[in-house]
Structure 1
């Protein structure tokens, strides 16, 4: 019978932390993608507006709309920078959690290999014992 990996509880905890970090990274990536799409949309709308104002009132309205759009674009770009740094932090947390998990996974694998070798060794001893006692019986020797 093999022994359970002594650090199995810690490994489960590390897997949970890694999963949480992966979820945070996925959310940060999605937020960044959404922000980029919004920024691109406002930028495209700002570039695509080709108005030919006919009077001073419409000229002021176009200027105000463009100024508002530029301000919104600047805010979105600022938000995108913040989201990018949040995504970088989430990526770092995920890498750290993964590195901690990998170390324990290697220890668990080594433990499984050691336990498997012990089981095979014990089975081999039984087979050797059966072979030697069986050979002794066939040759007519008495069992001790």
Structure 2
């Protein structure tokens, strides 16, 4: 019976951590993409406001709309910067989790290769024993 990989539990834990970090990175990228789209829509809305006013009331309304949109754009700029920082943090966490998992994966691959080599050596020894036994029996039968 072959001995299992002694660090299999730790490897599963590292792979779960890596999957969780990948999920966090995907969520951060989605948040950044959403913030960028909101920012683009706010800029488009700011450019879409009419530039001409027929009376003072319309002029005040246009000024208020522009001020509101610019304020919202400032908030969206801050949100986009925050989203970018979150992506960088999530990317770093994913990279670290991946590094921790890769080392154990290499150890597992080496262990598996050693197990296979041991099984092949055992099988080869059995084949050699069978061949040697057959040769001896044939030789003994020829002498008798």
TM-score range with shorter-chain normalisation? over 0.9
Q: Distance in 1 between matches of 2:50 and 2:97?
A: 51
Please name the residue that 2:125 is paired with: 125
CA RMSD of aligned residues (A): 1.0
Preserved contact between residue 28 and residue 83 of structure 2 (Cα < 8 Å): yes
Q: CA deviation at 1:63?
A: 0.5
Please name the residue that 1:46 is paired with: 46
Q: CA deviation at 1:48?
A: 2.0
- Which segments of structure 1 move beyond 4 Å, counting only runs of 4 or more? none
State the secondary structure of the residue aligned to 1:54. coil
Q: CA deviation at 1:57?
A: 1.5
Q: CA deviation at 1:27?
A: 0.5
Please name the residue that 1:134 is paired with: 134
Please name the residue that 2:88 is paired with: 88
Q: Distance in 2 between matches of 1:55 and 1:90?
A: 52
Q: Distance in 2 between matches of 1:105 and 1:62?
A: 62
TM-score (norm 1): 0.95
Can you list the C-alpha shifts for 1:32-84, whole angstroms capped at 9, x where unaligned?
A: 11111000000011012223111111111101110010000000010110011
Preserved contact between residue 49 and residue 62 of structure 2 (Cα < 8 Å): no
Q: CA deviation at 1:102?
A: 0.7
Q: How many residue pairs get matched? A: 141
Tell me, which stretches of 5 or more residues in structure 1 are unaligned? none
